Amino acid sequence: MKVFYALIAAAFLAVPVARAQSFLCDECKPDGAVRGCYRFRPEPAPLALPDPEPLQMRLLRYASLAVTHRLAGLASYYSASLEGTLTANGERYWHKQLTAAHLTLPLGTWVELTARATGKTIRVRVNDRGPYVKKFAIDLSRAAARALGVDVAEDRWVDIRIIALPGEDPLPEGVLTAAAP
């Protein structure tokens, strides 16, 4: 009985194989339309995108840099006893200059600070390392703290935006507000 079932199964399997072999036989070649869909078609040329503007490239570079740095938090300011001491980049600290210290931003980076409590905005250059207390994001000179109002405000939270990397001129004022979504 098993042999009978095996012969029936072989007969059913042999019929589709025979039909498949005769599909592309020499007597019955498919017409051009059928053959055309199996031909290799080259990919279309990639679209030429316009070169991005230099300002857009700078903003993209600053945005990618901002992801790796702490750019919002509480601001502290230098003690009066540090007047005239050397900063991390070799300059002397003077309390009347608009400078700042940040732990990770490259020295020479220009940043724009906005105090949430007062709404005031200033631009400072990072020339030192610090603050070394975890709750603070940036350390300001006395003049910068007074200009922002964080020396007397109860809320010393500031938002930080990169406006130039070392060796670059700071972006013109109003560029970041126009480019922000």
Per-residue pLDDT, averaged over 132-160, amounts to 95
Secondary structure (3-state) at 158: strand
pLDDT tens by residue, 70-112: 999 999 999 989 999 999 999 999 999 999 999 999 999 999 9
How confident is the model at residue 38, as a pLDDT?
Answer: 57
| 134 pLDDT tier (thresholds 50, 70, 90) | very high
- Judge whether 156 and 162 are in contact, CB under 8 Å: no
pTM for the whole thing?
Answer: 0.68
| 181 pLDDT tier (thresholds 50, 70, 90) | very low
Amino acid at 27: E
**If we measure between CA atoms, which residue out of 60, 15, 40 comes closest to residue 165?**
60
Assign domain 54-179 one CATH number from 3.50.50.100, 3.40.50.300, 1.10.10.10, 2.40.40.10. 2.40.40.10
